[in-house]
A and B are shown apart, each in its own frame.
Chain A
Amino acid sequence: MVSLNDYLIASGLLFAVGFAGVLLRRNIIVIFMALELMLNAANLSLVGFSRYNVQNGLPDYNAQVLVFFIITVAAAEVAVGLAIIVAVYRAKQTTHLEDLNTLKF
């Protein structure tokens, strides 16, 4: 049967894939998608622990409310982040990170 550890490993592997995307890719939009993957990996482990912590015969709904808030904030974050990417593109005509080196020391 499926145990909590299986869900945690699935969530951790999803996080690792997103982490690899942030570290290895240089396209700012793909990095943003990889950030979303990492956020969702955290959500998956939260839901797993919610189902594992049964109270009065019900899953722990506090964790699910936290996931609800994370999804809400992530949606706002996507909107603001993409607006910033559009503004950067308008100024620099690129979405490649190595061309955005104005702040580089």
Chain B
Amino acid sequence: MSPVLFWIFVAIMLVFAVLVIVNRNPVASALSLVVSFLALAALYVSLDAFFLGAIQVLVYGGAVMVLFLFIIMLLDLKAERARRVNFPAFCGGLIVVVLFVKILFDVSYGFQSGAAQFPATTQTSQADAWHIGMILFQQYNLPLQVVGTLILVASIGVVILSKRELK
């Protein structure tokens, strides 16, 4: 992928991620979250991970966004009223984040081998769904079954949590 496209998608991803936490209206936050995730899917495609890009669009752009919007509208949340912010806590959070970004840049620029080009893929990586499927069902078959059970338990748990009174 050309560097221009890469930086455009990174900019979209970060700008809309910032909009998620800046917006006062939760519906606007949820929609910004989806745009951010779609740009992230484009970055996956730029890394030759076509299958994960498609999964990202389907799961986050489809399922998770609908779930968030559904809950926001179910709870009928209005835009937040401005409240008095806890100033020391706000400053503390901001300092922690700034320090995190500083350490991030220090570590990244100290990581020499990461500054090299990506090695070229000799075989065609277009069939990555096939490769992931082979690894998933041969090498990681047991974890796959465990995750399937986890999703079953989660969906039953959601139904029980949503019941009005527990018996």
Residues of A with Cβ closer than 8 Å to B?
A: 1-10, 12-21, 23-27, 29-30, 32-34, 36-37, 40, 43-44, 47-48, 50-52, 54, 56-59, 61-62, 64-65, 67-69, 71-80, 82-87, 89, 95-96, 98
Contact = CB atoms under 8 A, between A and B. Distances in A.
A102 B162 CA distance: 21
Given A29-B77, A65-B140, A79 B114 contact: no
Residue among B40, B109, B125, B132 with max Cβ neighbours from chain A (10 Å):
B40
A27 B1 contact: no
Contacts of A78: 64, 67-68
Interface of B: 1, 3, 6, 10, 13-14, 17-18, 20-21, 26, 29-30, 33, 36-37, 40, 43-44, 46-49, 51-52, 55-56, 59-60, 63-64, 67-68, 71-72, 74-75, 77, 80, 83, 90, 92-94, 96-97, 100-101, 104-105, 108-109, 111, 114-123, 125, 128, 131-132, 135-136, 139-140, 143, 147, 150-151, 154-155, 157-158, 161-162
A20 B74 CA distance: 27
B47 A51 contact: yes
A89 B71 CA distance: 11
Contact of B118 (A3, A10, A56): A3
A8 B26 CA distance: 29
Contacts of A86: 71, 74-75, 161-162
A56 to B, nearest CB: 7
A4 B157 contact: no
Contacts, number: 226
B151 A76 contact: yes
Contacts of B1: 2
A83 to B, nearest CB: 4
Query: Chain A's interface: helix, strand, loop or mixed, by majority?
Result: helix
Contacts of B36: 14, 37
B40 A57 contact: no
Contacts of B117: 1, 3
A25 B3 CA distance: 33
Contacts of B92: 23
Nearest to B30: A33
B67 A58 contact: no
A21 B157 contact: no
A47 B97 contact: no
A4 B75 CA distance: 42
Contact of B67 (A43, A57, A82): A82
Given A3-B114, A68-B136, A59 B48 contact: yes
